Amino acid sequence: MLGGRMEAAVSVVSRRTALFPLPGSARRRGVTLCPVTRRCLGDGKHAGSLARLGAHAPRAAVARGPFPGAGSARAPVPRFFSRAVEGRDVNISASPTQSESTKGSFPLSGSRKLYFDTHALVRLLEANGFTTQQSEVIVSALMNIMKSNMDVVYKDMLTKIQQEIALQQIMSRIGVVKKDMIILEKSEFSALRAENEKTKLELQQLKKQVMDETSKVRTDSKLDFNLEKSRVKELFSHNERKVLKMRTEIVELHAQQDRALTQTDRKIDTEVAGLKTMLESHKLDNIKYLAGSVFTCLTVALGFYRLWV
């Protein structure tokens, strides 16, 4: 922002000097340039001329250009002057390199003066159709604008001496911070290192204790596992023996059942054979009794038949 303002002021001044060059006669006579606070021009009646121009000047179109003071006085501007101003665009933007170069080229804050040939500008304005009062008002307005611009520019500027002082202060603060860091590194960092070593030793001891406990737990678990394994094996063998015993008993029971079944089958067969023989004998007896009864009946029937016949 500061660089842009400085560059704008410098570009405005350079374009004013380029627009209104010094005449050859003035250069040959060696005209002295007045500073910004101009009191050597005219009869010292700038305030009265400003009032008279503001009251009696005709309302003409204000030329758009880099002269804001001319518009405020509402003075008629010739075509030559307006064309010259409109043809030259004022560049108010500044690059970083230009701003740095302008910062280095400005003097210290004690000498805030910009030398400017106001007499040559007044003569040039008079030659282009302005009256003496109008040209003086325009020049005074330009100088007031440049003075305000210089005040704005120098408001936020920093001198080289102040910059060096600030740099030395910053470097001294950096040195103090470095010393504090070294002291901290020697005192607090050493304490932190000792605490870290203590914590490392404690961690190693805890690690050893944990390893011992884990080894004990592993051995205990292995012993318990082996004991349980042997107990399970014994139980398994005992159960196998029981199963074998039960199997042998079951086989023996099956054999006894088979023997009993065979004996019962034999008894049943013998009983059935005896019953069959008894039935056969009873059948024969029945046949005999039937045959005898039939013959007796026939004989009785034959006897009755003979009797009837």
Task: Note the pLDDT of residue 99.
Answer: 41
φ and ψ of 17, to 5 deg: -65, -35
CA distances from 305 to 98, 167, 293, 309 (A): 181, 180, 18, 6
Q: Tell me, yes or no, whether 78 lies in a domain.
A: yes
Tens of pLDDT, residues 111-127: 556 677 888 888 999 99
Rounded to the nearest angstrom, the gap between the alpha carbon of residue 233 and the centroid of all alpha carbons in its chain is 63
**Tokens in use for 101?**
């170069």
Domain presence at residue 198: no
Indicate whether this model's pTM tops 0.75. Answer: no
- Calculate mean pLDDT across residues 40-64: 38
Residue 290 in any domain: the answer is: no
Give the chain's mean pLDDT.
Answer: 71
pLDDT at 111: 52
Structure tokens at 214: 């884990």
What is the domain extent for residue 125? 2-157
**pLDDT higher than 90, residue 204:** yes
State how far the Cα of 225 lies from the Cα of 208, in Å rounded to an integer: 25
Say what the pLDDT of residue 66 is: 36
Question: Does a structural domain hold residue 175?
Answer: no
How much is the CA Rg of the chain, to the nearest whole Å? 71
Whether residue 288 lies inside any domain: the answer is: no
Kindly state whether residue 283 falls inside one of the protein's structural domains.
no
Q: Is the pLDDT of residue 31 over 50?
A: no
Outline where 74-159 has alpha helix (H): 79-87, 96-105, 118-127, 132-155
Q: What confidence tens digit (pLDDT) does each residue in 56-67 have?
A: 333 333 333 333
What are the two backbone dihedrals, phi and then psi, of residue 116, each rounded to the nearest 5 degrees?
Answer: -150, 135
Whether 190 is covered by a domain: the verdict is: no
Give SS3 for 212.
helix
56 within a domain of the structure (yes/no)? yes
* 140 class by beta-carbon count within 10 Å (0-12 exposed, 13-18 middle, 19+ buried): buried
Report the percent of the chain where pLDDT is more than 90.
29
Each residue's pLDDT tens digit, 234-290? 999 999 999 999 999 999 999 999 999 999 999 999 999 888 898 888 888 888 888
Number of domains in the chain: 1
